[in-house]
């Protein structure tokens, strides 16, 4: 890793709109950076407060400070997909985010060495305002979900302004980096793929009598779990030797639980599983399935690769990036169409004799391209490079 010219731990201020206990890939990346770079950094997170979260909280490797936001709780939870929140309602939430975060952000920025913004909006706007008074190097990580890929046109100029005024912009995938450069005109984008601790995952065992499919995610419509269930049910009715295990929670829980219960027995729904159980399920699976209509660079897919589990993923930017067809998985042309999923799963069944080699290739790809250590080293290089430039 690059040297730290400060002669002490770097004070990193991370801005995240909805941090723990709300869960998502971005939160996992932030926490992994805090752990992976400890004790080289001390990491404080500034985030929105919800009715069920305290103003201050301490975790291993990071501290959390929460600013109040007077918007309705249902509106503030829009990122989880638990409720439908209209665009004007989201604007109210993000407007309050900008206003209410300014005072604590100003105080915390005076003590920070580097500001790391996750998602350009809304807290990137707050950071730009504060930088007029307290100049600190600002890094913006774009995770590639609604912050860019589904950005409403009205917010594009503001997002572009945040990205162009940042000292460094990080993209988590090649597809996303190209989108930022070509579509949004952001000239200097650093690619740092999301990373995972490969050694924390056990290699998947050999295939059993039936092909074991596994899917874990937040249960929201864009994950298309209902489409996956319908496809598996169709194949099972045709006599295909496969089964599906689903884990996760979210607003679609009751629907997915009902669909699994009404299935012919090929589908099993577990609901919430903890980390240890998730890793055990991956180690017992033949194929991981993710039918999202949008992702940045999926942590769940990377964990499957680390477990030596080939992946069926949507053929869309970000989701498909870690997967090479025929080597580490398969693409689904239309993740919202049952027959498109059925066709891909038929290819999976036909390719079953080659799964052993694919499992080995998956683990190798995870170790060589998506290790936690490589991600943390890359962020450290960005942070220390900005501090050297500033000095």
pLDDT 10s digits, 324-342: 999 999 999 999 999 999 9
Specify the pLDDT at position 48.
97
Q: Using one digit for the tens of pLDDT, what is the confidence trace for 157-206?
A: 999 999 999 999 999 998 889 989 998 999 889 999 999 999 999 887 76
Which residues does 109 contact at the CB level (< 8 Å), separation at least 6?
13, 115, 127, 130, 131, 134, 136
Q: Say yes or no: do domains 10-195+371-390 and 198-369 share a fold.
A: yes
CA distance 34 to 29: 9
What's the burial of 73, exposed, middle or buried (CB within 10 Å: 0-12/13-18/19+)? exposed
- Which CATH fold topology does 198-369 show? Rossmann fold (3.40.50)
- Give the start-to-end residue ranges of the domains of the chain: 10-195+371-390, 198-369
Gyration radius from the chain CA atoms: 21
User: Is the preceding peptide bond at 200 cis, omega within 30 degrees of 0?
Assistant: no
Specify the pLDDT at position 81.
64
User: Is the preceding peptide bond at 39 cis, omega within 30 degrees of 0?
Assistant: yes
CA distance 343 to 385: 48
- pTM summary value: 0.86
Average pLDDT per run of 10 along the chain, which is 391 residues long? 77 94 82 94 97 94 97 87 82 97 98 97 97 96 79 90 96 91 92 93 78 92 95 96 93 93 94 91 95 85 95 90 95 97 97 93 94 95 92 65
CA distance 97 to 78: 13
CA distance 133 to 227: 51
Which residues does 327 contact at the CB level (< 8 Å), separation at least 6?
358, 361
Which residues does 254 contact at the CB level (< 8 Å), separation at least 6?
none
Which tokens hold the place of 318?
A: 């970000």
Q: Which of 226, 214, 227, 220 is nearest to 252 (CA)?
A: 220
Specify the pLDDT at position 24.
75
- Phi, psi (degrees; rounded to nearest 5) at 11: -95, 110
Torsion of CA 144, 277, 254, 302, to 10 degrees: 20
* E-state strands within 162-302: 168-171, 189-191, 211-216, 242-247, 267-271, 287-290
Specify the pLDDT at position 391.
65
SS3 57: strand
- In angstroms, the first-to-last Cα distance of the chain is 19
Which residues does 313 contact at the CB level (< 8 Å), separation at least 6?
289, 290, 291, 292, 298, 301, 319, 320, 323, 329, 330, 331, 332
Cα–Cα separations (whole angstroms), residue 381 to 40, 138, 262, 384: 12, 14, 52, 5
Specify the pLDDT at position 88.
94
Report yes or no: 116 and 10 within 8 Å, Cβ to Cβ. Answer: no
Angle separating helix axes 225-237 and 338-350, nearest 10 degrees: 60
DSSP code of residue 225: H
Looking at the structure, give the CATH architecture of the domain made up of residues 10-195+371-390: 3-Layer(aba) Sandwich (3.40)
């Amino acid at each position: 890793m690059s040297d730290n010219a400060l002669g002490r731990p770097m004070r990193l201020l991370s801005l995240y709109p909805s941090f723990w206990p709300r869960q998502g890939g971005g939160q996992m990346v932030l926490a992994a950076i805090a752990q992976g770079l400890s004790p080289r950094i001390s990491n404080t997170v500034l985030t929105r407060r919800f009715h069920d979260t305290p103003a201050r909280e301490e975790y291993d490797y990071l501290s959390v400070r929460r600013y109040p936001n007077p918007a309705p709780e249902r509106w503030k939870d829009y990122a989880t997909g638990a409720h439908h929140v209209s665009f004007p309602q989201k604007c109210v939430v993000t407007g309050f985010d900008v206003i209410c975060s300014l005072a604590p952000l100003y105080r915390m920025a005076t003590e920070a060495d580097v500001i790391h913004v996750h998602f350009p909006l809304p807290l990137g706007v707050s950071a730009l305002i504060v930088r007029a008074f307290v100049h600190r190097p600002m890094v913006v990580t774009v995770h590639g979900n609604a912050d860019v890929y589904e950005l409403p046109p009205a917010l594009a100029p503001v997002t572009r302004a945040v990205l162009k005024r940042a000292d460094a912009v990080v993209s988590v995938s090649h597809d996303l980096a190209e989108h930022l450069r070509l579509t949004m005109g952001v000239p200097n984008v650093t690619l740092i793929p999301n990373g995972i601790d490969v050694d924390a995952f056990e290699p998947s065992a050999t295939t059993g009598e039936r092909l074991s499919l596994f899917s874990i995610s937040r249960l929201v419509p864009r994950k298309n779990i209902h489409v996956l269930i319908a496809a598996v049910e169709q194949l099972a009715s045709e006599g295909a030797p496969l089964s599906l295990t689903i884990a996760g929670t979210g607003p679609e829980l009751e629907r997915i639980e009902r669909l699994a219960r009404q299935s012919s027995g090929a589908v099993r729904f577990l609901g919430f599983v903890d980390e240890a159980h998730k890793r055990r399920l991956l180690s017992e699976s033949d194929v991981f399935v993710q039918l999202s209509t949008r992702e940045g660079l999926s942590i769940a897919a990377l964990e499957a690769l680390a477990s030596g589990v080939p992946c069926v993923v949507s053929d869309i930017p970000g989701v498909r990036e870690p997967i090479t067809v025929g080597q580490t998985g398969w693409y689904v042309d239309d993740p919202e169409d049952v027959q498109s999923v059925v066709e891909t799963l038929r290819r999976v069944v036909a390719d079953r004799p080659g799964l052993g080699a694919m499992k080995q290739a998956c683990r190798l790809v995870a170790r060589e391209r998506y290790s936690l250590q490589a991600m943390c080293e890359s962020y450290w290089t960005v942070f220390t490079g900005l501090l050297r430039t500033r000095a």
